Amino acid sequence: MPHTDLTTWLEIDLAAIRRNIQQMQTITTRPVMAIIKANGYGHGLVEVARAAQDAGCAWVGVARFEEALAVRRAGLGLNILVLGYAAPPCAGEAAARNITLTVYDLDVANQYAARARAAGHILNVHAKFDTGMSRLGIFPEDGVPFMQQLSAIPGLCVQGMFTHFARSDEAERVTTIWQNERFSALVTALNAAGLRPALVHAANSAAALYFPGAHYDIVRSGIAIYGLQPSDEAPLPPGFTPALTWKARLSSVKIIPPAQ
């Protein structure tokens, strides 16, 4: 496509993103939650969300509530998970627009529920567990009582649970194996207690490709759907193509004399 008035531009191949999503689904035999935070890793939030929907994704993941709203306002109906913290006043609108929030604190969960009830809707939530990333999440050892109490809050529907790997894109495998063992033990305990939610997820792109034991019900893939390597130590297998090309118009060619 010629951009005669521009000197430099990005071209985004949405068909490549659709194919990369399908490739990830083929490799993992799991549905993909397309991660589209940070303006779709710079590829365009709404455009990538639409490409994900066209590729058959039932889910996209964003970092912030505002990103989820932008996807909804664009008229897309697929499920949206806000992976980061959302302030309690957002919860009424989240419930009304079927935006799923992440919970890891009972006080905040109760505030979300109060807003959802006031808005006359059920709020879907996914519980987040900290198995070693040391960022957001409940420690898995506290997981069973947490899920018991969370499930009892009227106005909330505990639809999923997840964790995030700190080092799955490194050659060092011990940390991911250890994190996954802690998470898997919690899933087993919740299953026994009748508290396992419908959607259990853990794997980012690198874990989806290199740790099949972490696939669970759905994989959360960001970097790979854009056709980019998770890292030098966790390269993409064949079948993925980069979606972004940076182009620029040639503006000057000249020969510089020696010693100048």
Ligand X SMILES: *Cc1c(COP(=O)(O)O)cnc(C)c1O
Residue 162 to residues 91, 181, 214: CA-CA distances in angstroms?
20, 13, 11
Which residue's beta carbon is nearest to the bound ligand X? Answer: 222
Interaction between residue 69 and ligand X (CB under 6 A): no
Whole-Å CA distances, 211 to 34, 69, 92, 198: 18, 33, 37, 21
Q: How far is the CB of 250 from ligand X (least distance, A)?
A: 33
Q: Residue 139 carries which side chain, given as an amino acid letter?
A: F
Confirm if 31 and 57 have CB atoms less than 8 A apart.
yes
Q: Applying CB under 6 A, does 221 fall inside the site for ligand X? A: yes
Rg (CA), the chain: 21
The nearest distance, CB 207 to ligand X, in angstroms, is 8
CB nearer to ligand X: give 43 or 164. Answer: 164
How many residues in the shown chain lie near ligand X by CB under 6 A?
13
Residue from 19, 30, 50, 220 that binds ligand X (CB under 6 A)?
A: 220
Q: Does 71 bind ligand X (CB under 6 A)?
A: no
**Interacting span for ligand X (CB under 6 A) from 66-74, 117-125, 215-223, 248-256:** 215-223
Place of tokens 């056709």: 227
Residues 6+ apart with CB under 8 A from 229: 223, 235, 236
Least Å distance, CB 247 to ligand X, is: 24
DSSP code at position 57: -
| The one segment of 68-76, 113-121, 179-187, 214-222 that binds ligand X by CB under 6 A | 214-222
215 binds ligand X (CB under 6 A): no
Site string for ligand X, 110-149 (x = CB under 6 A): ----------------------------------------
Q: Is 28 in the site for ligand X (CB under 6 A)?
A: no
Shortest Å, Cβ 222 to ligand X: 3
* Secondary element (H or E) of residue 161: strand 156-163
Among the residues of the chain, which ranges form H helices? 14-28, 37-41, 45-54, 65-73, 91-96, 106-119, 143-151, 174-192, 205-210
Q: In the set 67, 68, 204, 214, which binds ligand X (CB under 6 A)?
A: 204
- Tell me, residue by residue from 30 to 49, as one string, x for binding to ligand X by CB under 6 A and - for no binding: -----x-x------------
Cα–Cα distance list, 4 to 8, 11, 14, 43 (Å): 10, 14, 22, 21
Instruction: List Cβ neighbours of 150 (8 Å cut-off, separation of 6 or more).
Output: 103, 106, 109, 125, 127, 156, 158
Q: Applying CB under 6 A, which residues contact ligand X?
A: 35, 37, 83, 164, 204-206, 220-224, 230
